[in-house]
């Protein structure tokens, strides 16, 4: 029976790896926790890695982690500005033809961005290529149209319904397979009852191929994900050939569901107004253009759209940006994004030390002006 305990532990550890989604660092995950939605920035196991991880809830009802990622760089009528180091701007004339390969977008051989999902990489590469070959006058309108789509708050609800419909049968079977594998095996370990073990094994052996067939069917029957953006063949095969991956098969589809939407758009559809305000504040701060800002056009476009999204949920952006109540007489400065307050030793204009605030300058209490944003190019929180 000890072997059974070891087998159970091994299966569970392997299964936990199946619950991880490896994504670019800017990705945001959305989870329902006791009926309340929360947003989580992807966790970075190592500060130097470009990859981060989002963990899906391992127990039934096996809801997939929903992913959304902000644009990886600023897109303006003059060109694109990459967020690396000193913010390199590439004009449209300098860019080579753009294309996507799996989850990466390239300009010629130059890797521009890595994405959490294939459809986001493909849609970005396609849009950039259209902009590159378009006339200078048309670009501004086209960029605005592209951004409008990413901030369209009606899309997430609709897409979620489509997704739920396409994986309904698969999710029932995946949950049943989870129960047979872990519930059955767990009960057998606890009770040391060989009959339960036998039943769990038989049930798992029946449910596993059925689940694989349901996954293949869900892929073919769904209407929202073009075939070109299906999970790659190796992933599809593993999801069908391994029962542990099969349990999480719906996750591979879910990561494409909100691919072409900004995280704040998804947040507006899921979070409570209070949580949405908290989520949007750093984005709004990062989108405030400062004096002489080279990215002023871009930031203004992003800020206006974030404000529009917030207005749909009756949130006043000015109230979000107002300074926090001073904790005590000793605090001198505060961070407009995370609202942390600092005593003497940190001057206004210094960057907030919190990891979640990339290049957000601190402000002095009593001298609140729109001093402007950090240097992050995208709408990264």
Judged on CB neighbours under 10 Å (0-12, 13-18, 19+), 280 is: buried
Task: Report how far residue 36's alpha carbon sits from residue 304's, in angstroms, rounded to the nearest whole number.
Answer: 28
Member of 50, 141, 272, 354 binding Zn ion (CB under 5 A): 354
**Cβ-based nearer residue to Zn ion, 65 or 277:** 277
- Residue 39 touching Zn ion (CB under 5 A): no
Question: Quick one: which segment of 27-35, 88-96, 211-219, 348-356 binds Zn ion (CB under 5 A)?
Answer: 348-356
Rounded to the nearest whole angstrom, what is the least distance from the CB of residue 211 to Zn ion in the complex? 45
The site for Zn ion, by CB under 5 A, has a size of 6
**Cβ-based nearer residue to Zn ion, 259 or 362:** 362
Is residue 1 within 8 A of residue 192, CB to CB? The reply is yes
Rounded to the nearest whole angstrom, what is the least distance from the CB of residue 334 to Zn ion in the complex? 9
Task: Report how far residue 248's alpha carbon sits from residue 63's, in angstroms, rounded to the nearest whole number.
Answer: 9
Member of 357, 373, 377, 379 binding Zn ion (CB under 5 A): 357
Member of 176, 250, 253, 338 binding Zn ion (CB under 5 A): 338
Rounded to the nearest whole angstrom, what is the least distance from the CB of residue 353 to Zn ion in the complex? 8
Run of H or E residues at 214: helix 194-221
Task: Report how far residue 375's alpha carbon sits from residue 293's, in angstroms, rounded to the nearest whole number.
Answer: 9
Q: If you write DSSP's letter for every residue of 137-198 in order, what string do you get? A: HHHHHHHHHHHHHHT-THHHHHHHHHHHHHTHHHHHHHHHHHIIIIIIHHHHHHHT-HHHHH
- Residue 373 touching Zn ion (CB under 5 A): no
- Residue 285 touching Zn ion (CB under 5 A): no
Rounded to the nearest whole angstrom, what is the least distance from the CB of residue 24 to Zn ion in the complex? 22
Q: If you write DSSP's letter for every residue of 325-364 in order, what string do you get? A: PPSSTTEEEE-TTT--EEETTS-TTSBP--TTSTT-B-EE
- Residue 359 touching Zn ion (CB under 5 A): no
Identify residues 41-80 at the interface with Zn ion (CB under 5 A). none
- Residue 272 touching Zn ion (CB under 5 A): no
What is the binding site for Zn ion (CB under 5 A)?
Answer: 335, 337-338, 352, 354, 357
């Amino acid at each position: 029976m000890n072997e059974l305990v070891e087998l159970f532990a091994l299966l569970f550890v392997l299964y936990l790896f199946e619950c991880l989604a490896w994504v670019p660092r800017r990705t945001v995950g959305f989870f329902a926790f006791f009926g309340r939605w929360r947003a989580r920035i992807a966790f970075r196991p190592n500060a130097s890695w470009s990859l981060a991880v989002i963990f899906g809830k391992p127990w039934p009802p096996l809801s997939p982690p929903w992913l959304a990622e902000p644009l990886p760089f600023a897109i303006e009528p003059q060109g694109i500005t990459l967020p690396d180091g000193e913010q390199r701007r590439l004009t449209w004339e300098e860019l080579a033809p753009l294309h996507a390969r799996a989850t990466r977008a390239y300009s010629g051989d130059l890797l521009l961005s890595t994405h959490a999902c294939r459809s986001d990489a493909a849609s970005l590469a396609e849009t950039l290529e259209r902009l590159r070959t378009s006339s200078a006058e048309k670009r501004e309108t086209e960029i605005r149209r592209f951004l409008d789509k990413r901030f369209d708050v009606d899309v997430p609800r609709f897409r979620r319904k489509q997704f739920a419909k396409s994986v309904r049968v698969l999710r029932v079977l995946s949950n049943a397979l989870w129960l047979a594998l872990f519930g059955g095996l767990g009960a057998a370990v606890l009770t040391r009852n060989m009959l339960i073990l036998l039943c769990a094994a038989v049930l798992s052996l029946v449910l596993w191929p059925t689940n694989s067939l349901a996954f293949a069917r869900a892929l073919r029957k769904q209407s929202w994900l073009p075939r070109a953006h299906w999970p790659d063949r190796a992933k599809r095969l593993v999801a069908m050939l391994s029962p542990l991956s099969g349990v999480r098969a719906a996750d591979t589809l879910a990561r494409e569901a909100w691919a072409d939407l900004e995280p704040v758009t998804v947040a507006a559809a899921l979070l409570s107004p209070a949580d949405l305000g908290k989520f949007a504040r750093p984005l709004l701060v990062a989108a405030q253009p400062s004096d002489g800002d080279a990215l002023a056009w871009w930031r203004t476009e992003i800020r206006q759209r974030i404000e529009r999204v917030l207005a749909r949920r009756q949130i006043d952006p000015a109230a979000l940006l107002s300074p926090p109540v001073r904790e005590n007489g000793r605090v001198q400065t505060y961070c407009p994004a995370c609202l942390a307050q600092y005593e003497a030793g940190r001057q206004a204009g210094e960057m907030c030390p919190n990891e979640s605030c990339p290049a957000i300058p601190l402000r002095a209490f009593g001298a609140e002006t729109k001093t402007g944003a950090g240097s992050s190019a995208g709408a990264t929180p």
